[in-house]
Homo-oligomer: A and B are copies of this chain.
Amino acid sequence: MSTGEEPPSGPDLTGPVLVVGSGLIGASVGLALRRQRITVYLRDQDPQVSAVAASRGAGDDREPAEAPQLVVVCVPPTRVAEAVIEALHTWPRSVVTDVSSIKAGPFVEVVAGLGQDAEPLRRYVGGHPMAGRERSGPLAASGSLFDGRTWAVTPHEQVDPAAVAVVESLVRLCGANLLTMSPADHDTAVARISHLPHVLAVLAAARLEGAPPDQMVLSGQGLRDVTRVAAGDPGLWRQILRANASPVRDLLVQVKDDLDELIAQLEKTEPDVDGLLRRGATGTRAIPGKHGGPARSLDTLYVVVPDQPGELGRLFAAAGDAGVNIEDVRIDHDLGRPSGLLELAVPESAGPTLAAALSERGWVVHR
């Protein structure tokens, strides 16, 4: 892995760029590159979609007037390999990349699709910007979607280093942070930090289906947090789990071992569950903190906030006046509560200051 702090080492991206698939990600790539005055052409299998993206300023939806330096394939996961192969054949001197969330499977498909002709493979480099949204389509696009986000670039062994340099330049021009890793390492990583937690959230949420409503009344914030991602589009997640089946399966087998052991322990008179609980607590500390730094010591304040317009404004204005930077915020929606309970995380040293400042102005604060 390299974290992209080194200066660009190869050809810069100067354009033109052809974006294939003008939905949320494709149109956002176009908008980000247009900020840099790079010529962008937009294509979509639905011409209305590329027309909308063009109308938002993401590029030109007519046929490219010249061969692109780079083709960025932004189509749904199941059509990536096919679109990459088509681009490599159509533009025999262009670099081609894609933005799909799985890297090894599409690469294997591209290799298989190209057959004996290995030359085009040298011009293909996969990528994956870590910038999803709950909304999709070109209307949700934004030129700042990738600002400060991680964008993984996954070179394979046969690739031309000059092609990699062009894609790395794309990442920088879009304002993202470059992370270089192999396709297999990438897929293992997203299995662990995205697909596995998604599956476990789904398993928790699946047990709520058909639960007696009087049991659900006791639901708290913990349940909402654990299961939130399980509300995501089942159609998209089917594609993701199919495309990354092997790494996800391997992790699930490890989870199953833990689960079997836990069930066996819970059948004993004196269950020993300490080891698993401790491993879980340790695991949470492996998640990088805000802005990628190490987890800092934070103080937590709880403030009662009436549920009406303007109250959060008054509260945060008071915090700003006190010179305290709020690191995190969460609204606790407890059942039947006429007012919200706001949880504020602030640097440990600022906790007493903020609590005093808020109390002085009449807020009910717990620490």
Cβ of A224 within 8 Å of any chain B Cβ, yes or no, is yes
Cβ of A248 within 8 Å of any chain B Cβ, yes or no, is yes
Q: What is the interface of chain A mostly: helix, strand, loop, or mixed? A: helix
Q: Is the CB of B200 within 8 A of A226?
A: yes
Q: Is the CB of B287 within 8 A of A203?
A: no
Cβ of A39 within 8 Å of any chain B Cβ, yes or no, is no
Number of interface residues of A (CB under 8 A): 145
Residues in B whose Cβ lies below 8 Å from that of A277: 202, 234, 237-238, 241
Closest chain B CB from A99 CB (angstroms): 14
| Stretch of A9-17, A109-117, A213-221 lying at the B interface | A213-221
Compute how far the CA of A332 lies from the CA of B108 in the bound complex, rounded to whole angstroms: 34
Compute how far the CA of A155 lies from the CA of B137 in the bound complex, rounded to whole angstroms: 54
Residue of B nearest to A338 (CB): B148
Give A312-338 interface residues, CB cut-off 8 Å to B. 312-331, 333-338
Compute how far the CA of A228 lies from the CA of B343 in the bound complex, rounded to whole angstroms: 14
Cβ of A162 within 8 Å of any chain B Cβ, yes or no, is no
Cβ of A37 within 8 Å of any chain B Cβ, yes or no, is no
Compute how far the CA of A194 lies from the CA of B319 in the bound complex, rounded to whole angstroms: 33
| Stretch of A45-53, A64-72, A77-85, A184-192 lying at the B interface | A184-192
Compute how far the CA of A281 lies from the CA of B237 in the bound complex, rounded to whole angstroms: 11
Cβ of A1 within 8 Å of any chain B Cβ, yes or no, is yes
Cβ of A206 within 8 Å of any chain B Cβ, yes or no, is yes
Closest chain B CB from A182 CB (angstroms): 11
Residues in B whose Cβ lies below 8 Å from that of A223: 193-194, 197, 287
Compute how far the CA of A209 lies from the CA of B275 in the bound complex, rounded to whole angstroms: 12
Q: Is the CB of B288 within 8 A of A217?
A: yes
Residue of B nearest to A230 (CB): B280
- The residue that A284 contacts in the complex, of B205, B241, B270, with Cβ under 8 A, is B205
Compute how far the CA of A228 lies from the CA of B225 in the bound complex, rounded to whole angstroms: 8
Residues in B whose Cβ lies below 8 Å from that of A189: 212, 214-216, 218
Residues in B whose Cβ lies below 8 Å from that of A144: 304, 364, 366
| A-B pairs with beta carbons under 8 Å apart, 14 shown | A132-B220, A150-B336, A197-B226, A216-B288, A222-B228, A227-B280, A248-B266, A252-B263, A291-B307, A291-B336, A308-B325, A309-B319, A315-B316, A329-B331
For the complex of A and B, the 8 pairs showing the least CB-CB separation, nearest first, are: A310-B320, A202-B280, A148-B337, A205-B283, A189-B215, A208-B283, A234-B277, A313-B320
